[in-house]
Structure 1
Amino acid sequence: MNDVSLSPQDFQQLSAFRYQLRCFLRHSEDICREHGLTPLQYQLLLHLLAGKGRQWATVGELAERLQAKHHGTVMLVDRCEQSGLVRRARGREDRRRSEVHLLPRGAELARTIAAQHQPELRRFRDTFCLTDPPGEA
């Protein structure tokens, strides 16, 4: 058991944070559904769009970013591939691995949905006095 003693204010701050986080997530879920995507499909596209200088990732990298099991991520990639959002290709460096590549339709959806998140994201940042990520202001 943890010996940390929490004050009523600690609980209030945590409650407020969780509430605002849930409001953001609910708003995000609504936006995704308006565009015919599940929230997980959008997150997968977002992670591909935000890639490390590339618009592809391995299934393992996506599973980590989604905090999901490998087999669940494979099924999610399958659904996105069937919808024309991504395509799977053999790894360039390791042919045993699959690379998941973002297709133009997937990139466009991710950009559109991300833009619609910005007002709520700014409100979330302002509420918790969070700093903007580097390159934003």
Structure 2
Amino acid sequence: MAQAVGSAMRQIRKNRGESIVDVAKATHTSPASFTKWENDQTVPSERSIRKLAEYYNIDPLELLALAYPDKYAPLQAEKLEEAKIKTIRVEDIFDNDTVLSYNDKPLSATAKAMISAFISGMIVNRAE
């Protein structure tokens, strides 16, 4: 399972539109090391993963659990269970069968469409 950490790191970097050199410079890592990590030739140290997570502004457990599953996957599962995270797909929110409400009052179809357009715009702009 440790092989998945390189793919995850590549996906995060590409979603942010950054090059390996950009991230390497920002995290004081060599581009060669970063390339090896992304190609699953080597696994980054816990310290390097924590630096990357700080740079990407993500929970380090997300990457640590991929790189070191025996040590961190149980901690991540425990943390998720404690938080009782409920995942909702954004596109499901705007499904025709979904009723959005505010202060216990259903929103009109127009308000729902406006919210959908606003959120879609935010997501698209963030991806760029």
TM-score, length-scaled by structure 1: 0.29
More strand by share: 1
More helix by share: 2
Radius of gyration: which is bigger? 2
TM-score, length-scaled by structure 2: 0.30
